Structure 1
Amino acid sequence: MDTEKDVLIEGKVDWKGRTATKNNHGGMRAAFAILATFGFENMATFALAVNLVTYFNSVMHYDIADAANHLTNYMGTGYILSILMAVFADAYIGRFRTVLIAAFVEFLGLALLTLQAHYPKFQPPLCNIFLPTSNCEKLSGGNAVMLFSAIYLMAVGAAGVKAALPSHGADQFEEKDPKEATTMSTFFNWLLLAIVLGGSVSLTCFVWVQDNKGFDYGFGLSMIAMFVGGIILICGLPWYRIYVVQGSSAITEIIQVYVAAIRNSNLQLPEDPSELYEIPMDKEAGLHEEFLPHRDVYRWLDKAAIRSDNIGSSPWKLCRVTQVENAKILLAMIPVFLCSIIMTLCLAQLQTFSVQQGVTMDIKLTKSFNMPPASLPIIPVAFLVVLIPIYDKIIVPLLRKFTGIPTGITYLQRVGVGLILSSVSMAIAGIMEVKRKDIAKDHNMLDAIPVLQPLPISVFWLSFQYFVFGIADMFTYVGLLEFFYSQAPKSIKSISSCFLWSSMAIGYFMSSIMVKIVNHATKAGTKSGGWLAGNNINRNHLELFYWLLSILSLINFVVYLFVAMRYKYRPQSLDAEHEHDHEVHQLRTLKPSM
Structure 2
Amino acid sequence: MHHSLFTLKNHNFIDRKIISSFHRNMDQECQISKSSMYVNWRNKPAIEGQHGGILAASFVLVVEVLENLAYLANASNLVLYLSKFMHYTPSSSSNIVSNFMGTAFLLALLGGFLADAFFTTYCIYLISAIIELAGLLILTMQARSNSLKPESCLSANRNTKCQETEGGKEAVLFIGLYLVALGVGGIKGSLPPHGAEQFDEETIQGRKKRSSFFNYYVFCLACGALIAVTFAVWIEDNKGWQWGFGISTFAILISIPIFLLGSMVYRIKIPNGSPITTIFKVLAAAIFNNYLPKNGRNAVVNTNVSPTSNSNERKEEITEDLSFLNRAITNNSNLPRFSVTTKQVEEVKIVLKIFPVFISTIMLNCCLAQLSTFSVQQAATMDTRIGSLLVPPASLPVFPVIFIMILAPMYNHVIIPFARKITKSEMGITHLQRIGTGLFLSIMAMAVAALVEKKRKKVAFQETLINSTQPLPITFLWVSLQYLFLGSADLFSLAGMMDFFFSEAPFSMRSLATSLSWASLAMGYYLSSVLVAIVNNVTGTFHHTPWLYGSNLNHYHLERFYWLMCALSGVNFVVYLIWAKSYKYGAKTGSNETQMLCKSSGV
**Equivalent in the alignment of 2:437:** 417
Q: Deviations over 1:324-374 (max 9, x none)?
A: 11111111112111111001111111210000001111111231x211111
Mapped partners of 1:28, 1:558: distance in 2: 38
Mapped partners of 2:303, 2:319: distance in 1: 13
Q: Does the C-alpha gap of structure 1 residues 275 and 417 become closer, same or farther in structure 2, counting only changes over 3 Å?
A: closer
Q: Deviations over 1:527-568 (max 9, x none)?
A: 4x3111111000110000011000000010001010101111
**Equivalent in the alignment of 1:135:** 161
Amino acid at match of 1:513: V
**Equivalent in the alignment of 1:259:** 284
Mapped partners of 1:280, 1:583: distance in 2: 22
1:548 corresponds to which of 557, 561, 564: 564
2:481 corresponds to which of 457, 461, 464: 464
> 2:338 is paired with a residue of what secondary structure?
coil
1:90-489 alignment, distance < 5 Å: 90-128=116-154, 132-246=158-272, 248-265=273-290, 266=292, 267=297, 270=302, 272-274=304-306, 280=312, 292-308=316-332, 310-311=334-335, 314=336, 316-367=337-388, 369-449=389-469, 453-489=470-506
Q: Does the C-alpha gap of structure 1 residues 443 and 510 become closer, same or farther in structure 2, counting only changes over 3 Å?
A: same
Q: Deviations over 1:361-411 (max 9, x none)?
A: 1111231x2111111111011011111111101110100011123222111
Mapped partners of 1:422, 1:565: distance in 2: 20
Kept after mapping to 2: 8 A contact 1:270/1:276? no
Mapped partners of 2:478, 2:155: distance in 1: 26
**Equivalent in the alignment of 1:286:** none
> 1:413 is paired with a residue of what secondary structure?
helix
**Equivalent in the alignment of 1:590:** none
> 1:273 is paired with a residue of what secondary structure?
coil
Report the TM-score when normalising by structure 2: 0.89
Q: Deviations over 1:202-234 (max 9, x none)?
A: 011111111121111111111111112122111
**Equivalent in the alignment of 1:562:** 578
Cα offset, 1:503, TM superposition: 1.5
> 1:444 is paired with a residue of what secondary structure?
coil
Amino acid at match of 2:97: L
Kept after mapping to 2: 8 A contact 1:42/1:198? yes
Mapped partners of 2:64, 2:212: distance in 1: 16
Kept after mapping to 1: 8 A contact 2:384/2:391? yes
Cα offset, 1:272, TM superposition: 2.7
Cα offset, 1:494, TM superposition: 2.2
Q: Does the C-alpha gap of structure 1 residues 102 and 309 become closer, same or farther in structure 2, counting only changes over 3 Å?
A: closer
Amino acid at match of 1:297: D
1:5-24 alignment, distance < 5 Å: 9-24=35-50
**Equivalent in the alignment of 1:571:** 587
> 1:505 is paired with a residue of what secondary structure?
helix
> 1:136 is paired with a residue of what secondary structure?
coil
Q: Deviations over 1:163-219 (max 9, x none)?
A: 111111111112113322221111111100110011111011111111121111111
Kept after mapping to 1: 8 A contact 2:116/2:508? no
Kept after mapping to 2: 8 A contact 1:277/1:319? no
Kept after mapping to 1: 8 A contact 2:446/2:566? yes
Mapped partners of 1:388, 1:359: distance in 2: 29
Mean Cα deviation higher: 122-131 or 563-572: 122-131
Mapped partners of 1:155, 1:580: distance in 2: 45
Q: Deviations over 1:435-494 (max 9, x none)?
A: 111111111111222xxx311111111111000111111111111111111111111112
Mapped partners of 1:104, 1:48: distance in 2: 17
Structure 2 unaligned runs (5+)? 1-23
Mapped partners of 1:56, 1:279: distance in 2: 66
Mean Cα deviation higher: 93-102 or 266-275: 266-275
Mapped partners of 2:141, 2:440: distance in 1: 42
Amino acid at match of 1:98: I
Mapped partners of 2:313, 2:505: distance in 1: 21
Cα offset, 1:280, TM superposition: 4.8
Mapped partners of 1:366, 1:396: distance in 2: 39
> 2:36 is paired with a residue of what secondary structure?
strand
Mapped partners of 1:279, 1:378: distance in 2: 61
Q: Does the C-alpha gap of structure 1 residues 526 and 176 become closer, same or farther in structure 2, counting only changes over 3 Å?
A: same
Q: Greater Rg, structure 1 or structure 2?
A: 2
Q: Does the C-alpha gap of structure 1 residues 236 and 278 become closer, same or farther in structure 2, counting only changes over 3 Å?
A: farther
2:523 corresponds to which of 506, 509, 521: 506
Q: Deviations over 1:57-90 (max 9, x none)?
A: 1110111111111111111111222222222222
Kept after mapping to 1: 8 A contact 2:230/2:398? yes
**Equivalent in the alignment of 1:63:** 89
Structure 1 unaligned runs (5+)? 283-290, 585-594
Kept after mapping to 2: 8 A contact 1:278/1:321? no
Kept after mapping to 1: 8 A contact 2:271/2:508? no
* Structure 1 position 533 matched with structure 2 position 549: yes
**Equivalent in the alignment of 1:288:** none
RMSD: 2.5
Mapped partners of 2:333, 2:252: distance in 1: 57
Mapped partners of 1:182, 1:206: distance in 2: 35
The count of aligned residue pairs is 566
Kept after mapping to 2: 8 A contact 1:99/1:164? yes
